[in-house]
Amino acid sequence: MTSEISFTKGHGTENDFVLVADPDGSWNPDAALVAAICDRRAGLGGDGLIRAVRTAAAPDAAALAGQAEWFMDYRNADGSIAEMCGNGVRVFAEFLLRGGFLPAGAGDGDWFPVATRAGLKRLRREADGSWTADMGPWSLTGGRRALADGSDALVQVHGLDGVARPALSVDLGNPHTVVALPHAAELEAADLTRAPEVQPVPPHGTNVELVVPVDVLDVDGDGDPDVGDIAMRVHERGSGETRSCGTGACAAALATRAWAGEGAPDVWRVRVPGGRLVVTVGAGSSLAEGTVWLSGPARLVATGTFRLPA
Ligand SMILES: N[C@@H](CCC[C@H](N)C(=O)O)C(=O)O
């Protein structure tokens, strides 16, 4: 039985992860062990644990065998399983590359595939060392039907005025609920030590993003706004408040774009407490569904061994 594991610690805009290479899928930690590893006082600490398993050895990726060599097994800090992690998949790509699990130069100017529970994602390494993830399909899941104001849910955020706010549900392979706040002061005042209360209650839980519009820029100078700028905080399902969330940044940008309506930008800068991400909506996307890319840093900061609790 394994008594210790080799790990790498990494983060993407301070959304931090413990990464473990398990090529043959022989180490399958239960929820309690994942939570112990992610514990910031008694363990290594992390918003999540990422296991790198060869797709051929990963039952959860059976449908993708032959399409990607590696499967990203993502677990939240409480040990729950998540379908996808946008910051995590960039850090995963850096981990595979630096660990020699991919041919040298993989991702440079070209895409390579990664299997996730939310399907196949493609990764590309940019000249500055950051990564772009082709996050694949997204959709507004509530159909913007339930309420007349372009929302499909109500969210009560602790620490504000007690009023339930309209929100929009976005599926990025994992579930998100985005709430627009009018002022940066409200974004700061929100108490995310407790999960915001979402109605109707999402069947599989949800990540909740609070978003404030900052600016709309005409970067190419043609008179039309082409880059949106928003600020976001997030309460993640299974992890609590984190300093960034990649799928959350995509959801926040896509919800803001939907609220803005036709003519809204397809490129969004998303400010999060841990840095900045760029979200690019795929060509041919409508306001309600399409594809999306996520760009941002991926940093590996430590390696070591962790003694597993007896
Ligand atoms: N931080 C991640 C999302 C991780 C999973 C999420 N908490 C969930 O349960 O869906 C990201 O960067 O996307």
Tell me, yes or no, if 250 is annotated catalytic: no
CA of 85 to the centre of ligand 1 (A): 5
Would you say how long the chain is, in residues?
310
Angstrom distances, CA of residue 265 to CA of 64, 163, 223, 247: 33, 30, 12, 18
Q: Among the atoms of ligand 1, which is closest to the Cα of residue 15?
A: 1
Output DSSP code: residue 195: P
Instruction: Please tell me the predicted confidence (pLDDT) of residue 2.
Output: 62
The CA distance from 202 to 153, in Å, is: 9
Residue ranges and CATH numbers for the domains of the chain are 4-136+298-307 (3.10.310.10), 138-296 (3.10.310.10)
**Which pair of tokens denotes residue 63?**
């449908």
Question: At residue 224, what are phi and psi to the nearest 5 degrees?
Answer: -105, 140
pLDDT tens digit at each of 310 positions of the chain: 569 999 999 999 999 999 999 999 999 999 999 999 999 999 999 999 999 999 999 999 999 999 999 999 999 999 999 999 999 999 999 999 999 999 999 999 899 999 999 999 999 999 999 999 999 999 998 765 555 677 999 999 999 999 999 999 999 999 999 999 999 999 999 999 999 999 999 999 999 999 999 999 988 888 888 999 999 999 999 999 999 999 999 999 999 999 999 999 999 999 999 999 999 999 999 999 999 999 999 999 999 999 998 7
State if residue 246 touches ligand 1 by the CB under 6 angstroms criterion.
yes
State if residue 177 touches ligand 1 by the CB under 6 angstroms criterion.
no
**Which pair of tokens denotes residue 24?**
């043959």
Q: How many CB atoms lie within 10 A of CB 274?
A: 19
Cα angle 252, 253, 254 (rounded to 5 degrees) comes to: 95
Q: Dump the DSSP string for 45-67.
A: --SEEEEEEEGGG-GGGGGGTTT
Question: At residue 32, what are phi and psi to the nearest 5 degrees?
Answer: -65, -40
Structural Rg of the chain based on CA atoms? 19
Residue 28 assigned as binding residue: no
CB 244 within 8 A of CB 88: no
The CA distance from 15 to 246, in Å, is: 9
Catalytic, out of 20, 52, 85, 210:
85
Query: Pick from 305, 307, 298: which is nearest to 7 by CA?
Result: 305
Q: Chain centroid to CA 246: how far?
A: 3
Q: What ipTM did this prediction achieve?
A: 0.99
Counting ligand 1 atoms within 8 A of each CB, the residue from 84, 176, 278 with the most, and so the one to mutate, is 84
Tell me, yes or no, if 85 is annotated catalytic: yes
Treating both helix axes as pointing N-terminal to C-terminal, what angle do 86-98 and 246-260 enclose, rounded to 10 degrees? 140
Instruction: Please tell me the predicted confidence (pLDDT) of residue 225.
Output: 83
Q: Chain centroid to CA 305: how far?
A: 26
Angstrom distances, CA of residue 302 to CA of 4, 36, 61, 291, 299: 16, 18, 28, 33, 10
The CA distance from 169 to 140, in Å, is: 6
Q: Dump the DSSP string for 113-137.
A: EEEETTEEEEEEE-TTS-EEEEEEE
- The pTM score is 0.97
Counting ligand 1 atoms within 8 A of each CB, the residue from 50, 207, 234, 243 with the most, and so the one to mutate, is 207
